Amino acid sequence: MRKRIVAGNWKMNTSLEEGIALAKSINEEVKASKEDIGVIIAPPFTHLTSVKEVINTERICLAAQNCAAEAKGAYTGEVSASMLKSLGVKAIIIGHSERRAYYGETNEILNKKVKLTLSESLKAIYCCGETLEERESGKLFEIINSQIVDGLFNLSNEEIENVIIAYEPVWAIGTGVTASSDQAQEMHAFIRNLVNQKYGGKIANEVKILYGGSVKPDNASEIFGKEDVDGGLIGGASLKTSDFLSIINA
């Protein structure tokens, strides 16, 4: 059975002081949660070092929300995967739809980020998802296919084993509208099948596919109950310890 994972993406929220307080309270509460559920938190870059000091990193995996598409050099304002590794970060979210939409990150750029992340022996949490327009025009499978194929499928078998895929329909992120559990399952099965065709049954069976998009304590267990849904990537609800914990326990 695949390990379940719940990951919290804090986005550009919390002051340093608020972030430390949130991390402390999540850390306290996670102690009482089911040990077999993987917990990841992704605070802003500026908080990573301080957050690391107040969490049990054996239990909570520290992640970043983005990294540069280049390894090092004259890229003012960028933060590289190796810098993040040097802080103790273990995973990086790559290709969140906000990065794709607001910062023009293409599948090609994201593939470079994934490769750099993996070359530092970090896990890549690779996001994909269609807009409402793409879904309604019937292009959704085509879009997800190209995000997965172009973003990931030049990876070796060893590399893909360190990728967690997050399916996050853009229309469900931060909107309060969540995909139905059947819509999530349909797309997760489609993605797992793509991985199967490219990498074979063993890898496809092991790859973790998280759902993201307005997951809340009251809808988490239904979505997580689907066969190909291995947990969630949580935005808004990861900023409130009680909600995040309810989702972990779902």
Which residue, 173 or 204, has its beta carbon nearer to ligand PEP?
Answer: 173
Give strand pairing partners of 41.
8, 62
Instruction: For residue 215, state whether it binds ligand PEP (rule: CB under 6 A).
Output: yes
End-to-end CA distance of the chain: 17
Element (H, E) at 17: helix 16-30
Cα–Cα distance for residue pair 205/175, rounded to 1 Å: 31
- Who contacts 87 (Cβ-Cβ below 8 Å, separation ≥6)? 48, 49, 52
Q: Which two tokens stand for residue 38?
A: 């993987």
Which residue, 19 or 235, has its beta carbon nearer to ligand PEP?
Answer: 235
The contact mask relative to ligand PEP for 10-29 (x = CB under 6 A, - = no) is --------------------
Instruction: For residue 235, state whether it binds ligand PEP (rule: CB under 6 A).
Output: yes
Least gap, CB of 74 to ligand PEP (angstroms): 31
Output the CA–CA distances (angstroms, integers) from residue 108 to 68, 94, 114, 139, 161, in the order listed: 13, 12, 10, 20, 20
Active site residue 47: no
Q: Please provide the DSSP assignment of 89-144 as one string.
A: --EEEE--HHHHHHS---HHHHHHHHHHHHHTT-EEEEEE---HHHHHTT-HHHHH
Q: Which stretch binds ligand PEP (CB under 6 A): 28-36, 42-50, 100-108, 230-238?
A: 230-238
* Per-residue b or e along 45-60, where b marks 16 or more CB atoms closer than 10 Å to that residue's CB: bebbeebbebbeeeeb
**Contacts of ligand PEP in 160-199 (CB under 6 A):** 168, 173-174
Catalytic residue among 47, 96, 105, 120: 96
Site of tokens 């991985």: 195
Question: CB nearest ligand PEP: which residue?
Answer: 235
Active site residue 188: no
Which residue, 44 or 212, has its beta carbon nearer to ligand PEP?
Answer: 212
Instruction: For residue 8, state whether it binds ligand PEP (rule: CB under 6 A).
Output: no
Instruction: For residue 247, state whether it binds ligand PEP (rule: CB under 6 A).
Output: no
Least gap, CB of 10 to ligand PEP (angstroms): 9
**Contacts of ligand PEP in 82-101 (CB under 6 A):** 96
State which amino acid sits at residue 227: E
Give just the sign of the alpha carbon dihedral 89, 92, 93, 99. positive
Q: Which stretch binds ligand PEP (CB under 6 A): 60-68, 117-125, 229-237, 241-249?
A: 229-237
> Which of 229, 233, 245, 250 forms a contact with ligand PEP (CB under 6 A)?
233
- Judged by the rule CB under 6 A, the positions of this chain that interact with ligand PEP are 9, 96, 168, 173-174, 212-215, 233-237
- Indicate which residues carry an active-site annotation: 96, 168
